[in-house]
Structure 1
Amino acid sequence: MMDTSDTFLARVGALESEAAGHYEVAAQHALNAGDLELEIFFQNLASLARMEAGEALGGSLPVTALLPRIRPIEMEKPRSAVKVISDEALDLFRSLERALDLKRRSHSYYATMAVLAPEPGLRKMARAFAHDDAAHLTEIETWISRMTA
């Protein structure tokens, strides 16, 4: 059975809340690395995610709504004696990779719901979320390309 309105909104709230928390941490990594432009980008993503989560969670949700679990990405810092890049740059790169993973997951969910949701209103809302996430995916990929060029 496809998501109902309440379940869809609960999932949006969970996905966007998780993302907002990550983007805030990523903004701090960007600041620590001295990249103010990337810090602003992450702060904007965090604000958008908090706004979307707040709108989604604004209504009452059923106690039984199943929220998606997003597995954390485990990454370790290199333990070699020679540091190739700074910890700040490494943290920033990992933050971008995690942001890309989060956006891919939410985009996949929204794109699926845009096609399969039982209600036209949900399909329309999911299309809008999928469209926004596609644009953010492109922006994050651009930032990763800049760092690795």
Structure 2
Amino acid sequence: MHDSDMFLASVNALESEAAWHYQRAAQRALDAGDAELEAFFLNLAELARMEAHEALSGKQLPVAVNLPRIRPIEIERPRTAVKVESDEVLDLHLALERALDLKRRSHGYYAMMAILAPDPDLRKMARAFEHDDAAHLGEIERWIARLTA
């Protein structure tokens, strides 16, 4: 297996997991009646699916390539006897925190691969993904600030 195959498999795994989470987060936003946040999460899901597809760009990875196992980021709802926030607001906050964790993880990976990838085209792709993730990190942080204001 080539390093480039593992990089592409990792991009596919990271972005596919992120798309799945963002789709679920969009449903939470819809359930809470926040159409603007739903649209934001749907946009992130679509971008993640596009990045996963772009990484492979129709290329079939060798059968020997197993997608890397991505350790899930667990965020549990705090157990408390006193309700400070509604369940919907808490669910949205947790969804945004999970989105922030996912973006930080992929941003860090892409930043590292922008330097270490064995192929110049892969480094270029990693830099583009890193740049996009940096912008998304800022957007997610603004949503968190808005929700907690």
Please report the TM-score for the alignment, with normalisation by the length of structure 2.
Answer: 0.90
Contact 2:23 2:42 (C-alpha < 8 Å) held by counterparts:
yes
Closer/same/farther in 2, CA of residues 52 and 32 from structure 1, 3 Å limit: same
Match of 2:10 in 1: 11
Aligned equivalents of 1:112, 1:78: Cα separation in 2: 33
Match of 1:70 in 2: 70
Aligned equivalents of 2:109, 2:79: Cα separation in 1: 36
Displacement after TM superposition at 1:122 (Å): 0.7
Identity in percent: 74
Match of 1:97 in 2: 97
Displacement after TM superposition at 1:66 (Å): 4.6
RMSD over aligned Cα atoms:
1.6
Contact 1:20 1:45 (C-alpha < 8 Å) held by counterparts:
yes
What is the one-letter code of the residue matched to 2:32? A
Question: Which one is further off, 16-25 or 6-15?
Answer: 6-15
Number of residue pairs aligned between Structure 1 and Structure 2: 147
Aligned equivalents of 1:110, 1:66: Cα separation in 2: 19
Match of 1:107 in 2: 107
Displacement after TM superposition at 1:107 (Å): 0.5
Closer/same/farther in 2, CA of residues 27 and 81 from structure 1, 3 Å limit: same
What is the one-letter code of the residue matched to 1:83? K
Question: Which one is further off, 130-139 or 50-59?
Answer: 50-59
Match of 1:136 in 2: 136
Match of 1:49 in 2: 48
Match of 2:25 in 1: 26
Displacement after TM superposition at 1:72 (Å): 2.5
Please report the TM-score for the alignment, with normalisation by the length of structure 1.
Answer: 0.90
Contact 2:77 2:94 (C-alpha < 8 Å) held by counterparts:
no
Q: What is the DSSP-based 3-state SS (H/G/I as helix, E as strand, rest coil) of the residue aligned with 1:73?
A: coil
The one-character-per-residue Cα deviations of 1:80-103 (angstroms, maximum 9, x if unpaired) are 443221111111111000000000
Contact 1:11 1:66 (C-alpha < 8 Å) held by counterparts:
no
Closer/same/farther in 2, CA of residues 112 and 33 from structure 1, 3 Å limit: same
